[in-house]
């Protein structure tokens, strides 16, 4: 009961209050959410053309499948559904009387939201041909901007819309109240439907979709429970399990607060039972959850926008983010380890956790995460990688059901074999097809002749997957087409098998599949609106030329001092992040501050050199990562610190103590960006040519950075085998900060300090 109360309290404080709608309106919301998914899959992911190609290869021509729409039209349709959901679900005020029913004006606003967005859908072909804007366009364009801002206010609060309004007022005044140009820039060309919203519809929605399914079909619960079982009986186990599970789930949830409120309901009570004070338990989870957006392969939504801004493929950004993410989580681990020892905590009894053997036997449930990692690194487009992994996730979720009979090992082998063969090229399509057909026949024979398999849901879902992929291979479909179809058809297969299922688990899978489609549409509301609003700022900056002049003003303000400029950028990003979502924060800060940082180091080596294989300067990559990090860390930085607030509510601890602990544990996130900017080789993709020397340099940088985090963890926790005296802590802290330069002298002193503590530490204890 206590856990549920904490969860409800956190949800009430942190998450947006939404209306409880009558069944008819709830169905409208569900239809709108599902329509977003259907449109995305059919026309944005080009599943309609893939289906047309499939049927054509079978000798069937279905011309309607060749219907195509411009990307802007797709964005307009998605926004129309988002505005419909927002105005029906989110009240004008959060007070109780506004939550009970939908007032007449919200019906009007919902209708106008749909009309103003769909207007672009219908007139965009005309605009794309003639590039002319009429007064009717102005009316609908301005209406759409106003409705987007009000929807953003309802979902995300006042701060972002107010910032946008300031920019809009400046913009319209700067262009002499030329409403035609205003509408063309902010409605047709950029603005609402600019790069941020484009990235959301093309890439990010696929990952929201993927994350919604992982949560509903039980894979996220498996990850959390597995990590608790793995680490729980060790000293500090519950806290360490929180770090790993939240890091894994944070990569797909994309929201620090949402992650705290899901995995935190398991991990925070366990940490308290293990002996952690509420202010420590409530801080560990937010820090771990926030880091999920920094951890490859699936980072936060801002990372996809960064790839678009920089013109660097997302799979390259994954590589660039690896070492910084490892440093972040290593820093968190070091702090937790020392805190655990300082508090004198022991592991919890093994019998309090589910048997580890069970989770090891079910390890195949993590196959979708392995698939999406391989696909992304391989260079498969991000949205196709997400959808293909979704199909595998659905399949493994079905075969993991213990109440549906069937030899688990056989089904697991089938999934793994099929997954590997799915990634093969067309040059070996025929032998792959034969292997898949033989695999399907083997399952059928085993079902007839042995008790290992039965004719039930596990067999049906497996045969559908195997035979469908065999068909696509036989027809010579391209790899990307097969991956896309496997994910989409996985949803269809799950709905069909779940609908006809007689078992309780089968019915649950049907409900989970159906509800995941709805949740994906509803969950995407906040990120879509944040992107649309931030796009308006980008549009104004471009329209007025402010995007260039602001950078130079920042350089003048800091007198060209790079480190002062970096500190100012950090402060600006953290303050902005107190009221603006991560994605919008990154967009604004990267447009304003990143060019200034780039100009400040222009001409200096290695910053002026391009990222090997691309035209993007290394300085711009480093600057964007810098603002990306601090935009995310705003979630744990007081005085607002929404993720820390959620953690303190769940733990029942003091908010300020919790938030200050979170800042301490996330120290690697605050110091790391300065180190990476000063040593851009740590992004790996910036290295021109790998030699033994460069490899040793990167290893030295990584090891020295970990040493810095270790020294600062010792200084701030005040523990190394025993409590340290204050003056000793101060000296260790100073050495740690000096070593952050990664210069050989302070790093060597740091190494000597750690060795000295181990050898002579007892004389320095307080």
pLDDT by residue (tens digit) across 390-414?
Answer: 999 999 999 999 899 999 999 999 9
Q: Report DSSP state, residue 292.
A: G
Q: What are 720's strand-pairing partners?
A: 722
Cis status, amide bond into 639, omega within 30 of 0 = yes
Query: What is the predicted pLDDT for the residue at 254?
Result: 56
Note whether 622 and 648 are within 8 A (CB): no
* DSSP sequence for 173-184: HHTTS-HHHHHI
User: Has residue 51 got a pLDDT over 60?
Assistant: yes
Q: What is the pLDDT of residue 250?
A: 58
Cα gap 82→76, rounded to integer Å: 10
Q: Residue 688 is encoded by which pair of tokens?
A: 């021109």
Neighbours of 244 (CB within 10 A): 19
Compute the Cα dihedral for 254, 229, 360, 444 and give only its sign.
negative
Q: What integer pLDDT is reported at residue 252 of this predicted model?
A: 56
DSSP state of 348: P
CB 661 within 8 A of CB 346: no
Give the pair of three-digit tokens for residue 10.
């956190």
Instruction: Map tokens 């995460």 to a residue.
Output: 369
Q: Is the pLDDT of residue 264 over 90?
A: no
What angle do helix axes 256-273 and 219-231 make, rounded to 10 degrees? 30
Mean pLDDT of 37-64: 93
- Peptide bond before residue 478 is cis, with ω within 30 degrees of 0: no
Q: Which residues of 149-180 are buried (b: 16+ CB within 10 A; e: fewer)?
A: bbbbbbbbeebbbebbeebbeebbeebeeebe
Q: How confident is the model at residue 302 (pLDDT cuts 50, 70, 90)?
A: confident
Q: CA-based angle 462:467:468, to the nearest 5? A: 100
Dihedral angle, C-alpha 143, 149, 151, 157, nearest 10 °: -160
Rounded average pLDDT over 471-487: 94
* Contact (Cβ atoms closer than 8 angstroms) between residue 440 and residue 470: yes
d(CA 534, CA 150): 14
Structural tokens at position 49:
């053309």
**Residue 719's beta-bridge partner residues?**
723
Instruction: Report whether pLDDT(551) > 70.
Output: yes
Query: Which candidate, 520, 487, 525, 484, places its Cα nearest to that of 216?
Result: 520
Judge whether 446 and 437 are in contact, CB under 8 Å.
no
Burial class (CB in 10 A: 0-12, 13-18, 19+), 732: buried
Query: CA–CA separation, 33 vs 642, rounded Å?
Result: 26
Q: Which pLDDT score, from 0 to 100, does residue 6 have?
A: 38
Q: What does the mean pLDDT of the chain come to?
A: 89
Q: Distance of alpha carbon 705 from its chain centroid, rounded?
A: 25
Task: Calculate what percentage of the chain has a pLDDT beyond 90.
Answer: 61
Coil, strand or helix: which one is 610? Answer: strand
Q: What does the pLDDT look like over 658-686, one tens digit per residue?
A: 999 999 999 999 999 999 999 999 999 99
9: left (phi over 0), alpha (psi -120 to 50) or beta: alpha
Contact in structure between 13 and 649 (CB atoms under 8 Å): yes
Q: Measure the CA–CA gap between 725 and 663, rounded to whole angstroms.
A: 22
CA–CA separation, 758 vs 552, rounded Å?
50
Predicted local confidence at residue 255, as pLDDT: 67
Q: Please tell me the distance from the alpha carbon of residue 249 to that of residue 244, in angstroms, as a whole number.
A: 9
Phi-psi region of 275 (alpha: psi -120 to 50; beta: other; left: phi over 0): left
| Torsion angle of the four alpha carbons 656, 661, 663, 666, in this order, in degrees rounded to the nearest 10 | -150
**Which of 163, 222, 65, 133 shows the shortest CA–CA distance to 581?**
163
**Residue 603 — pLDDT band, cuts 50, 70, 90?**
confident
Q: From residue 108, how far is each of 26, 84, 99, 103 by CA, in Å? A: 17, 10, 17, 9
Token look-up 């309004």 returns 165
Q: Has residue 242 got a pLDDT over 50? A: yes
Please, which residues bridge with residue 610 across strands?
617
Q: How far are the Cα atoms of 21, 111, 143, 197 from residue 105, in angstroms, in the given order? A: 16, 10, 15, 27
Q: CB neighbours (10 Å) of residue 550?
A: 17
Task: Please tell me the distance from the alpha carbon of residue 84 to that of residue 32, in angstroms, as a whole number.
Answer: 8
Res. 761 pLDDT band, cuts 50 70 90: low
**Strand, coil or helix: 306:** helix
Segment 443-454, tens digit of pLDDT: 999 999 998 999
pLDDT above 60: residue 61? yes
Angle between helices 278-291 and 314-343 (to 10 degrees): 170
Per-residue pLDDT at 179 exceeds 80: yes
pLDDT of residue 154: 93
Backbone angles phi, psi at 569, to 5 degrees: -65, -45
Other CB atoms within 10 Å distance of the CB of residue 103: 12
Winning range, highest mean pLDDT, from 147-161, 216-230, 594-608, 719-733: 147-161
Residue 764 pLDDT: 56
pTM above 0.85, yes or no: yes
| pLDDT score of 762 | 64
Under the banding of pLDDT at 50, 70 and 90, the label for residue 27 is very high
End-to-end CA distance of the chain: 42
């Amino acid at each position: 009961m206590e856990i549920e109360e904490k969860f409800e309290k956190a949800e009430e404080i942190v998450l947006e209050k939404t209306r409880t709608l009558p069944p008819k309106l709830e169905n409208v919301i569900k239809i709108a959410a599902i329509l977003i998914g259907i449109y995305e899959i059919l026309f944005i992911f080009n599943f309609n053309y893939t289906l047309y190609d499939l049927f054509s290869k079978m000798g069937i021509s279905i011309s309607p499948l060749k219907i195509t729409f411009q990307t802007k039209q797709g964005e307009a349709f998605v926004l129309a559904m988002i505005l419909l959901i927002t105005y029906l679900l989110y009240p004008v005020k959060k007070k109780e009387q506004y939550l009970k029913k939908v007032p007449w004006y919200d019906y009007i606003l919902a209708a106008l939201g749909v009309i103003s967005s769909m207007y672009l859908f219908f007139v965009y072909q005309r605009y794309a041909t003639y590039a002319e804007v009429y007064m009717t366009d102005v009316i609908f364009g301005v209406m759409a901007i106003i409705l987007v801002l009000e929807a953003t206010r309802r979902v995300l609060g006042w701060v972002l819309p107010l910032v946008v309004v300031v920019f809009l007022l400046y913009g319209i005044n700067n262009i002499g109240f030329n409403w035609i140009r205003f509408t063309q820039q902010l409605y047709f060309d950029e603005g609402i439907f600019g790069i941020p919203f484009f990235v959301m519809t093309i890439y990010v929605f696929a990952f929201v979709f993927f994350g919604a399914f992982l949560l509903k079909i039980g894979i996220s619960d498996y990850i959390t429970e597995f990590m608790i079982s793995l680490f729980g009986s060790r000293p500090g186990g519950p806290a360490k399990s929180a770090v790993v599970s939240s890091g894994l789930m944070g990569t797909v949830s994309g929201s620090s607060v949402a992650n705290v409120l899901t995995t935190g309901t398991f991990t925070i009570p366990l940490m308290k039972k293990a002996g952690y004070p509420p202010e420590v338990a409530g801080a560990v989870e937010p820090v771990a959850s926030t880091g999920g957006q920094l951890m490859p392969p699936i980072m936060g939504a801002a990372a996809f926008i960064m790839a678009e801004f920089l013109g660097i493929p997302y799979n390259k950004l994954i590589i660039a983010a690896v070492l910084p993410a490892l440093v972040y989580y290593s820093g968190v681990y070091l702090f937790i380890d020392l805190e655990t020892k300082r508090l004198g905590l022991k592991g919890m009894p093994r019998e309090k956790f589910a048997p580890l053997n069970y989770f090891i036997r079910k390890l195949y449930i993590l196959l979708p995460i392995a698939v999406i990692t391989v696909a992304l690194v391989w260079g498969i487009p991000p949205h196709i990688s997400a959808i293909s992994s979704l199909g595998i996730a659905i399949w493994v979720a079905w075969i993991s059901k213990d109440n549906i009979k069937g030899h688990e090992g056989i089904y697991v082998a089938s999934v793994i074999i099929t997954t590997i063969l799915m990634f093969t090229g067309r040059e070996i399509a025929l032998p792959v097809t034969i292997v898949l057909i033989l695999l399907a026949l083997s399952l059928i024979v085993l079902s007839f002749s042995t008790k290992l398999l039965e004719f039930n849901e596990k067999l049906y879902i497996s045969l559908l997957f195997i035979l469908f992929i065999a068909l696509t291979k036989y027809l010579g479909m391209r790899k990307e087409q097969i991956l896309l179809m496997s994910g989409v058809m996985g949803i269809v297969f799950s709905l069909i098998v779940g609908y006809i299922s007689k078992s309780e688990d089968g019915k649950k899978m049907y409900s989970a599949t159906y509800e995941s489609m709805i949740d994906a549409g509803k969950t995407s509301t906040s990120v879509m609106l944040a992107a649309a609003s931030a796009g308006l700022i980008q549009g104004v900056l471009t329209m007025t030329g402010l995007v260039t002049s602001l950078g130079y003003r920042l350089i003048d303000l800091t007198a060209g001092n790079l480190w002062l400029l970096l500190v100012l950028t950090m402060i600006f990003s953290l303050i902005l992040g107190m009221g603006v979502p991560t994605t919008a924060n990154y967009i604004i800060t990267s447009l304003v501050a990143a060019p200034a940082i780039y100009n400040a180091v222009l001409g200096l080596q290695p910053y002026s050199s391009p990222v090997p294989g691309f035209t993007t300067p290394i300085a711009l990559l480093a600057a964007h990562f810098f603002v990306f990090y601090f935009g995310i860390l705003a979630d744990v930085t007081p005085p607002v610190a929404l993720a820390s607030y959620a953690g303190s509510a769940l733990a029942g601890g003091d908010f300020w103590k919790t938030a200050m602990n979170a800042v301490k544990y996330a120290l690697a996130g605050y110091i790391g960006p300065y180190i990476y900017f000063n040593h851009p080789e740590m992004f790996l993709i910036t290295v021109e040519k790998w030699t033994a020397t460069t490899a040793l340099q990167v290893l030295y940088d990584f090891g020295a950075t970990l040493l810095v985090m270790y020294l600062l963890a010792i200084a701030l926790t005040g523990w190394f085998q025993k409590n340290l005296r204050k003056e000793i802590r101060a000296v260790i802290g100073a050495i740690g900060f000096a070593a952050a330069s990664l210069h050989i002298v302070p790093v060597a002193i740091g190494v000597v300090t750690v060795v000295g503590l181990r050898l002579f530490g007892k004389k320095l204890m307080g």
